[in-house]
């Protein structure tokens, strides 16, 4: 595994004085409403690159418009390329469960490798999202947003070096701000690590780590596909045009497109938060819905919790909870003693997968009991209160609420070369787009 510094592209703070107005969430959590909000916040908001609005005539013009915007911002000096390859230390301050927290990550460039060769996945991907990101990467020739990856910090020297860097003068210091439509507050501090000895030590220490993708499976698979395209393109021509081509005078195999930008976070970081994605379901056949409780009772012990006041907490020892099955009650499911669910799960899946709550929900309850196979009938939310509101308002028939996944589950599934169902984990908060961009030319 090769982890290295890189010359990042960043907003020119002499022109864009308030960086809070130009950051945006990554593409997969940008709703149409949030896209409009980001567009209004600034003419230079990174949403114009990450998730450009499409015209009514074409769904592909947005990618070319993003590329044209990217080139124009570089030409005007709104975005500037750092002259020195750097690691970028990022402290992400945020609110969670009434507490102030900080997640520390290191932005780096990681050489692309096949799955299992130092890089491990834990979640399935969709073709639609891969296609979207690939078209954008082709157009802009850059990693606009970093993947979030985890490593086991077995080497204390990494933590000591990062703590030492954080005592210095930051490159970027953004005070607390509301995060668009979500209502929570975030702040960001970024340091550039340019000292050659520190960079070398970090490269050596981090290159010995196994990296587990937390958020960004689609972007990693996109980067692999893009590298293949660029290698074929390069073999057919002596020079490929680029935005910042003069910076990368690389030997074969070391070109920028052989790497992807990641934010690396220690599994033991106290700011690491993993949330579940609750499922909201509609268009269930009445006959299946009427039989659901009896069928559940064969496999689970069912208990009900009052939803008086609109607040509830799913017991930690439960498998999952259901809203909408009984009026004003949360029905809690615990696996019935003496009943094995393993035989009802796919035989080609590992033990960790078959024991995971989302796997049980998908295969046994949604698919088998309710006959829900269309993704159009399922919506997702990390907000359990929002799930309850949707049920009360009749927007969905049932909501399935889940307990947070443990980090150990991520590593167990990934080490077994297995993958959890899509949208099984939500690492909070999302790394924003716009702090650093990685050029691929």
**Domains of the chain with CATH codes:** 3-272+429-439 (no CATH), 277-403 (3.30.1760)
Residue 54 has pLDDT above 70, yes or no: no
Write out the H or E segment, with its range, that includes residue 215.
strand 211-215
Question: In sequence order, what DSSP letters do the residues of 136-203 get, joined into one string?
Answer: HHHHH-EE-SPEEEEE----HHHHHHHHHHTTS--SEEEEEEE-TTS--EEEEEEEEE--HHHHHHHH
Q: How does pLDDT run across 391-424, given as a tens digit for each residue?
A: 999 999 999 999 999 999 999 999 999 999 999 9
Residue 240 has pLDDT above 60, yes or no: no
Q: Region 262-271: what's the mean pLDDT?
A: 96
C-alpha–C-alpha distance, residues 90 and 324, integer Å: 42
Q: Rg for the chain (alpha carbons), in Å?
A: 23
- Please give the average per-residue pLDDT across 316-322, as a whole number: 96
Q: Give the tokens for residue 383.
A: 């907000």
Three-state DSSP state, 305? strand
Structure tokens at 126: 């969709």
Residue 182: predicted pLDDT:
52
Beta bridge partners of 325: none
């Amino acid at each position: 595994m090769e982890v290295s510094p890189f010359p990042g592209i960043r907003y020119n703070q002499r022109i864009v004085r308030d960086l809070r107005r130009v950051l945006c969430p990554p593409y997969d959590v940008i709703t149409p409403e949030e896209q409009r909000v980001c567009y209004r916040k600034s003419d230079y908001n990174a949403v114009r690159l990450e998730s450009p609005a499409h015209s009514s005539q074409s769904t592909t013009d947005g990618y070319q418009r993003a590329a044209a915007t990217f080139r124009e911002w570089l030409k005007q000096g709104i975005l500037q390329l750092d002259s020195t390859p750097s690691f970028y230390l990022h402290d992400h301050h945020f609110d969670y469960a009434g507490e102030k927290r900080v997640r520390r990550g290191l932005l780096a460039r990681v050489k692309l490798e096949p799955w299992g060769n130092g890089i491990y996945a834990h979640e399935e991907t969709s073709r639609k999202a891969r296609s979207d990101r690939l078209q954008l990467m082709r157009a802009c020739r850059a990693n606009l947003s970093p993947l979030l990856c985890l490593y086991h910090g077995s080497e204390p020297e990494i933590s000591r070096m990062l703590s030492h860097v954080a005592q210095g003068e930051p490159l970027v210091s953004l005070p607390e701000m509301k995060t668009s439509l979500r209502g929570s507050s975030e702040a960001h501090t970024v340091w550039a690590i340019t000292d050659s000895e520190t960079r070398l030590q970090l490269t050596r220490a981090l290159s010995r780590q196994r990296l587990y993708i937390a958020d960004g499976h689609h972007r990693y698979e996109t980067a692999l596909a893009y590298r293949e395209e660029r290698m074929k393109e390069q073999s057919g021509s002596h020079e490929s045009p680029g935005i910042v081509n003069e910076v990368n005078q690389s030997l074969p195999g070391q070109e920028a497109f052989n790497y992807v930008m990641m934010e690396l976070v220690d599994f033991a970081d106290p700011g690491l938060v993993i949330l579940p994605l609750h499922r909201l379901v509609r268009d269930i056949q009445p006959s299946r819905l009427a039989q659901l409780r009896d069928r559940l009772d064969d496999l689970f012990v069912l208990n009900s919790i009052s939803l008086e006041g609109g607040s509830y907490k799913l017991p930690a020892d439960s498998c999952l909870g259901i809203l909408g099955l009984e009026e004003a009650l949360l029905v809690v499911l615990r696996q019935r003693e003496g009943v094995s669910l393993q035989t009802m799960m796919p035989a080609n899946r590992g033990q960790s997968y078959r024991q995971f709550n989302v796997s049980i929900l998908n295969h046994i309850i949604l698919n088998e009991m309710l006959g829900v196979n269309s993704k159009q009938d399922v919506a997702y939310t990390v907000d359990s209160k929002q799930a309850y509101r949707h049920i009360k308002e009749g927007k969905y028939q049932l909501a399935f609420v889940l307990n947070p996944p443990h980090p150990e589950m991520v590593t167990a599934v990934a080490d077994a070369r297995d993958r959890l169902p899509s949208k099984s984990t939500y690492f909070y908060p999302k790394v924003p787009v716009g702090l650093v961009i990685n050029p691929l030319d």
